[in-house]
A and B are shown apart, each in its own frame.
Chain A
């Protein structure tokens, strides 16, 4: 009997100190889901939301009780992308409404795999887009989009005609090179394609629809006054071919210069080499 009381006291001591460490609401999940809760504690939602806000279940039940009790009400372990959108919309109404215009949501609704809130913003570790560590911080946006859009298997598996070289071709633009070289941060993916309501170019409402390009490029911080420009003829990301007057100019110029440079290199270095050897020859003869 004495022994049991001591054990019980020790147990109570440990449990109370454990719960006294933190008076936050996530405590009942903390005992098992350490990594997730730690991630969550660093996120912007900490102190504003609890685990239950997204996962359901009853947070007020003591964590010491087996977790089946926590989960006895509408608990969801890993929510489906559509569920994610639903529970984000509880607070982020406007953002969700805008997101539901996007091609990502359309595809999700068709029952295909596509990006929902958490694919871009992160899951437990959501940060403000003004935080430099955030996946939605401007400078990190290309990497965040490239996570899926550069992934050949992913893009092939759900092939909608999406090219996987978009990040590579973006890397060749001044927009990327400036920041990469330590200069100002210029346009990233979301500046032209929009973030929440990104749509395909064929959509007449899309920011990258050829008809809307002048206004997209002509945003006040970017290229103001880009109204009457010949921008709709071209494809911004196109790497392999640019057609001018039905001529594949890019290919022609590249082939021409490859030949020129090979010719010039062989010629210059060859003549230097021949000059040196003939000089040796003359010296040897003298």
Chain B
């Protein structure tokens, strides 16, 4: 049986994504223990990367990698043929309304998404703004006394605040939202490695794009026609189990972090 595969990400985009998420995971892994130094997992995580100085080095290095790949992404957009399908439009608003109606049983019709859903657009721009905020505030905090030659100390303190909050915000969006939608719901979603998505997923998730592609025959890449492999159900099932446990653990961790950050803020700013 032959299955059509659709090109979704180019090699360039895939490499950008891999660098971005690797640095993101490393930053979260080495960053949150510093926010909660007194928790048991904090010590454990810092020791797992070989001590506090290593932690700092990894954090700085992956921060630079993230800044680098973000700058590269802007350059890439300028150099590549400009595309506008990632930008919000009125259809997204309609899709969103339709999706909520569908979820709340007001309608039987699921919205028909184009190449990018409204959620994916949010994630894309969220990651973009997040990278800008994290990059600037992180650089300010890396060398506070260099920064204080140009900005008053208040800026460094506010940078610290922004850095923490934005980290929590971004981590919730990525570790709960993005992982659930793109990797948990569509497990095993290998499009981040291969760049292709199978026909069924294409028809199901991006029907508008699918129709356009079938009409124009442009996006369909005949080189990517492959024989459908007999997937080993056991291996996939086991991988899914491990992935689920990991995902749930990270979800609980993120919820704990957001809970304690919020209660701390409430204690500091509202109770007193």
- A residues touching B (Cβ–Cβ < 8 Å)? 174, 176-178, 180-184, 217, 223, 225-226, 228-231, 233-234, 236, 238-240, 242-244, 249-251, 253-255, 257-258, 260-262, 264-265, 268-269, 271-272, 274-275, 277-278, 281
**Cα distance A230–B255 in the bound complex, in angstroms:** 37
Given contacts A177-B34, A178-B52, contact A226 B269 (CB under 8 A): no
**Cα distance A172–B177 in the bound complex, in angstroms:** 29
The reply to whether B169 and A264 contact each other, CB–CB distance below 8 Å, is yes
**Cα distance A180–B56 in the bound complex, in angstroms:** 14
Interface magnitude class on chain B: 35 or more
Across the A-B interface, give the 5 residue pairs with the lowest CB-CB distance, nearest first.
Answer: A183-B52, A234-B153, A257-B165, A229-B148, A274-B103
Given contacts A250-B161, A268-B172, A274-B103, contact A233 B46 (CB under 8 A): no
Residue B83 at the chain A interface, CB threshold 8 Å = no
Cβ distance B26 to chain A, nearest Cβ, rounded Å: 17
Given contacts A223-B145, A251-B269, A268-B172, contact A230 B153 (CB under 8 A): yes
The reply to whether A184 and B53 contact each other, CB–CB distance below 8 Å, is yes
Q: Which of B35-43, B211-219, B238-246 contacts A (4 or more CB under 8 A)?
A: B35-43
The reply to whether A233 and B153 contact each other, CB–CB distance below 8 Å, is yes
The reply to whether B33 and A240 contact each other, CB–CB distance below 8 Å, is no
The reply to whether B43 and A181 contact each other, CB–CB distance below 8 Å, is yes
**Cα distance A234–B262 in the bound complex, in angstroms:** 25
Q: Which residues of A contact B153 (CB under 8 A)?
A: 229-231, 233-234, 236
The reply to whether A253 and B157 contact each other, CB–CB distance below 8 Å, is no
The reply to whether B173 and A278 contact each other, CB–CB distance below 8 Å, is no
The reply to whether A240 and B268 contact each other, CB–CB distance below 8 Å, is yes
**Cα distance A251–B158 in the bound complex, in angstroms:** 10
- B residues touching A (Cβ–Cβ < 8 Å)? 33-34, 37-38, 42-43, 46-47, 51-53, 55-56, 100, 102-105, 119, 145, 148-158, 161-162, 165-166, 168-169, 172-173, 176-177, 180, 185, 255, 258, 261-262, 265-266, 268-269, 272
21 contacts between A and B (CB under 8 A): A181-B55, A228-B149, A230-B148, A230-B149, A230-B152, A230-B153, A233-B153, A234-B152, A234-B156, A234-B157, A244-B154, A244-B155, A249-B158, A257-B166, A257-B169, A261-B261, A264-B177, A265-B258, A268-B180, A272-B180, A274-B100
The reply to whether B269 and A240 contact each other, CB–CB distance below 8 Å, is yes
Q: Which residues of B contact A182 (CB under 8 A)?
A: 43, 46-47, 51-52
The reply to whether A260 and B104 contact each other, CB–CB distance below 8 Å, is no
The reply to whether B173 and A268 contact each other, CB–CB distance below 8 Å, is yes
Mostly, the B contact residues are: helix
**Cα distance A264–B130 in the bound complex, in angstroms:** 14
The reply to whether B169 and A255 contact each other, CB–CB distance below 8 Å, is no
Cβ distance A239 to chain B, nearest Cβ, rounded Å: 6
Contact of B269 (CB < 8 Å), options: A225, A243, A254: A254
The reply to whether B51 and A233 contact each other, CB–CB distance below 8 Å, is no
Q: Which residues of A contact B152 (CB under 8 A)?
A: 230-231, 233-234, 244
Q: Which residues of A contact B262 (CB under 8 A)?
A: 258, 261-262
The reply to whether A177 and B37 contact each other, CB–CB distance below 8 Å, is yes
Q: Which residues of A contact B42 (CB under 8 A)?
A: 181
Given contacts A182-B51, A254-B269, contact A249 B103 (CB under 8 A): no
Cβ distance A236 to chain B, nearest Cβ, rounded Å: 8
The residue in A176, A233, A268 that gathers the most chain B C-beta atoms within 10 A of its C-beta is A268
**Cα distance A278–B185 in the bound complex, in angstroms:** 13
Q: Which residues of A contact B185 (CB under 8 A)?
A: 275
Contact of A253 (CB < 8 Å), options: B119, B165, B172: B165
